[in-house]
Amino acid sequence: MNNTFIPSSDYTQKKWFLVDATDKTLGRLSTEVANILQGKNKVNFYPSVDMGDYVIITNAEKIRVTGNKEEAKLYRRHSGRPGGMKIETLKAVRSRIPERILEKAIKGMLPKGPLGRKMYTRLKVVQGSKHKYIAQKPELINF
């Protein structure tokens, strides 16, 4: 009789990866990072098990978008109060909180629910090239 092997989340060591977002396209970088956070780049990937790694993204303010997205792409948030919707363009968000652009793009590509929220906690996005995760010895990857 054949048995299906389902790995547990403590089966593998979680690695740390470093990604430089300078001149990378927003969507293409986001899909690669989402795959690493989910663990889809591993041989023993299983959808309901948290197998992903940690990802640090530097230079978030230098991310590139194509077309007219700088003025046309809108980010919405709501306070929960009547009339509490705030709408900003990508250009405004980039000047105020450039990390938010990558965070929202990657979070939308992760599974919805408790497993996706746990995966999202392993994403670290920083402005500039310096980060505080040097002790983890992240491995630099290029896409």
Q: What integer is the mean pLDDT of 82-93? A: 97
Select the CATH number that applies to the domain covering 16-65+98-140 from these four: 3.30.70.1170, 3.30.70.3270, 3.90.1180.10, 3.40.50.920: 3.90.1180.10
pLDDT at 1 (0 to 100): 65
CA separation, residue 133 to residues 81, 122, 139 (Å): 38, 12, 11
Rounded to whole angstroms, the Cα distance separating 141 from 36 reads 11
Q: What integer is the mean pLDDT of 40-63? A: 93
For the segment 2-37, what is each residue's pLDDT rounded down to a tens digit?
788 777 766 678 999 999 999 999 999 999 999 999
Enter the pTM of the model.
0.91
